[in-house]
Amino acid sequence: MSRSKAFFEENGFFLAKGVFSPKKIRELEEDFDRIVDRLEVDKNTHSLAKGNAYTLNPHQYSGRWMAALLEDGFLNAAEELIGGDIVLSHASLVEKRKSESRASIEMHQDWSYMPTRENTLISGMIHVSGATEEMGCLRVFPGSHLRGRIPDSSRADTDFQERFPIEAATPVVAEPGDVTFFSYFVYHGSMPNRTGTPRKTVIVRILSGRDQREGICEYNENIVLRGFNHHTTFESARKGVVELRAESK
């Protein structure tokens, strides 16, 4: 087993260093900023947008971002973790800005937002800027993913956040070009950005092409980044949004 896979299996996350070159990340930052300029920050009601700039799917705005999702270094690192069939569920762009609030992204698990049948979905957080503790980098409870699906573990579940306080979690400090991969079971969140330097990330949600999203998917690009999607059918390719038939659940 590779070092990254062994670390990921034990801890529920893995920081892949220098996946994107400094030149590539500068170009990606240019398009990141271009996208942010187009967002009407205050009108965005998504919870991740509180005081931040947020949008889904930067690859729908920018060819450079589409190419980033197909970049060999990114997919090689992902392949170590979920195998060679890699399907994009969706991606989110977050520019986390200076804030005085307590927790900008409350401790939670991701599975309830995007459940899949085989639980292979992971996130790859592409660091466009640095992410220091002061800038509100990702914080995780290493090993918590081994407990699987915990009910009531979303960002709205204050009991969960009292049991697993964000201050006690491990900060994952990253540099531009790094990618933090994390399981959708690992308890994670992040504190506010206390600095004047925005923390820029694109979080890419991918799953194995042998797995599939459960139920009706609110957002699911269903784009194959590498290998094959073993569940795509004539019908699902036509509709884009898939409702699984009850008998096949």
Ligand X SMILES: O=C(O)CCC(=O)C(=O)O
| CA nearest neighbour of 92 among 189, 204, 226 | 204
Nearest-approach distance from CB 88 to ligand X, in angstroms: 15
Closest residue to ligand X using C-beta atoms: 190
Other beta carbons less than 10 A from residue 39's beta carbon: 17
What is residue 76's three-state secondary structure? Answer: helix
Q: Which amino acid is at 70?
A: L
Show the site string, 129-158: x = touches ligand X by CB under 6 A, - = not.
---------x--------------------
- Quick one: 77 or 94, whose CB is closer to ligand X? 94
Task: Identify whether the C-beta of residue 122 lies closer than 8 Å to the C-beta of residue 182.
Answer: yes
Instruction: Single out the residue of 120, 129, 144, 190 in contact with ligand X (rule: CB under 6 A).
Output: 190
What are 63's strand-pairing partners? none
Instruction: Single out the residue of 123, 161, 208, 222 in contact with ligand X (rule: CB under 6 A).
Output: 123
Show the site string, 6-45: x = touches ligand X by CB under 6 A, - = not.
----------------------------------------
- Quick one: 78 or 138, whose CB is closer to ligand X? 138
**What is the spatial order of strands in the sheet that 188-190 belongs to?**
105-108, 188-190, 138-140, 170-171
Query: Structure tokens of 111?
Result: 């599975």
Number of residues forming the site for ligand X (CB under 6 A) = 10
Q: Which amino acid is at 194?
A: R
Stretch that binds ligand X, among 19-27, 182-190, 213-221, 223-231 (CB under 6 A): 182-190
What distance in Å separates the CA atoms of residue 26 and residue 21, rounded to the nearest whole number? 9
- The footprint of ligand X (CB under 6 A) covers 94, 105, 110, 123, 138, 188-190, 201, 203
